[in-house]
Structure 1
Amino acid sequence: MEADTKATVAFATPNERAPHATTSLVIEAPDGVELSDGAVPRGWRLDLAGGRARWSGGRIEGTRVVAFPLSVTARTRAGNVTFRAIQGYDDGESVRWGANLTVLPASGSEAPSQRLDRALAAGAVGLVVIAGSFLVLRLIRRRPLQDP
């Protein structure tokens, strides 16, 4: 997903403890990531508070997989961020896992300005340093190392 752009992310959650059923899922967003409503799977209820989403009231039975979508806006630098998840089961046990998301630099009108003037100035300074280095090397090579 791109930085500062809203995207829908689905947390596909399998029930991995059959014969027990998954009865809740909590997703905690990392710093700099905002959560907002997504389409709630049939039979589930979503409680959203700050950087935490909690689905309850439904069941994932057997080996089924249910996708829990959320709208996500990453207000962070490009790179990987990790969501923390807690999956609750009908026997009171829970399993913690992480879900990674790659944040890409923003593009289009959301992208930061490119500062072309600074890039050109840095390039010019680099060329002056290289040319000066060649000039100094040439002057050094013309001098004899020892007097005859």
Structure 2
Amino acid sequence: MKELKAKLLSVVRLTGTVISEDQIQILDRGVPHKPAGLPRGKMGIYSFVYKDEFLKIGKVGPNSDARFRSQHYVPTSSQSNLAKSILNDPDFKCFNLTEDIVGDWIKQNIRRIDFMIDASLGIFVLNLIEAFLHLKFKPKYEGYKSQR
């Protein structure tokens, strides 16, 4: 994680943006994991990893705690979320997951890595870091298959 953080700081600095090490935190919540809220004054990037494959990477601004904390565990909570993607993925059919249990299954079986970014850095820094992570890890449920 130290190497990844150094790369993120470097790519942000390449734009001429002043950023200190303490303005980005990487929190590996592990497997199993407990979702946590978005701290005051922070923006966030969440990522979900299953068997070394990134499934989803997304961002939230400082006022999007529900998206950060809970929506990815409830398939009916939003138009696009991890739970819904897993339920629609043939690779996960063998687990016999349903809308009622998929959230708990995610918490027990999928690694979550959160990136906390000082809100003072602004939306463009958040967008840049998310784009960097998308390009580096190519998450399964991001983008369109026709675009790859």
TM-score normalized by structure 1? 0.28
Where relative contact order (Cα < 8 A, 6+ residues apart) is larger, the structure is: 2
Task: Compare the two structures and name the one with the higher helix fraction.
Answer: 2
TM-score normalized by structure 2? 0.28
- Higher-Rg member (1/2): 1
